[in-house]
């Protein structure tokens, strides 16, 4: 199971969730090592906002579930490069997505609930992109990225804008 020792309930839940991606429109789960649940990838295509996100563009999230998932939120962020597939990706431009891939979205942090699933999180992020009308990064992108921890869960986020 990789470097983490997952609780049996976490393993059972994650395998169940992996199946939910089989019929998801514009979403795909990539598991480079089927014996390791500590690193998963979710590919997202934005199918209904071609002015900002070309339909043929794929954005990749890296997901690191905690050993006590779903009781603790997974670490999730967009990545620019996947060493497993030797593929480059773009970080989508959005007022709540930093250029380092960190996503300012309450349900990934303080608003996490064990009722959330990887699939529901992916749909939320895909929906966030679909509804976006602005081609800008967060106003503090440069400052935040220069001091941000590699794990976005270590950031103390302030959620004050739910209009975007």
Write out the catalytic residue numbers. Answer: 104
Query: How far apart are the C-alpha atoms of 73 and 115, rounded to whole Å?
Result: 11
Distance of CA 101 to the CA centre of its chain: 9
**Residues in a beta bridge with 81:** 88
CA atoms of 102 and 151, how far apart (whole Å) = 8
Q: Identify the sign of the CA torsion 43, 49, 55, 57.
A: negative
Main-chain phi, psi angles of 41, to 5 degrees: -130, 145
């Amino acid at each position: 199971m990789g470097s983490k020792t997952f609780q049996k309930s976490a393993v059972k839940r994650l395998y169940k969730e992996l199946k939910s991606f089989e019929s998801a429109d514009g979403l795909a789960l990539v598991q480079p090592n089927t014996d390791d649940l500590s690193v998963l990838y979710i590919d997202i295509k934005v199918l209904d906002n071609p002015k900002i996100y070309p339909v043929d563009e794929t954005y990749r999230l890296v997901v690191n579930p905690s050993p006590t998932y779903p009781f603790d939120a997974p670490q999730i962020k967009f990545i620019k490069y996947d060493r497993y597939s030797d593929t480059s990706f773009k970080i989508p431009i959005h007022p709540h997505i930093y250029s380092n891939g960190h996503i300012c979205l309450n349900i990934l942090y303080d608003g996490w609930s064990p009722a959330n699933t990887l699939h529901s999180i992916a749909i939320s992020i895909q929906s966030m992109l679909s509804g976006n009308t602005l081609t800008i990064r967060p106003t503090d992108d440069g400052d935040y990225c220069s001091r941000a921890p590699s794990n976005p869960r270590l950031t103390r986020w302030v959620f004050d804008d739910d209009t975007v």
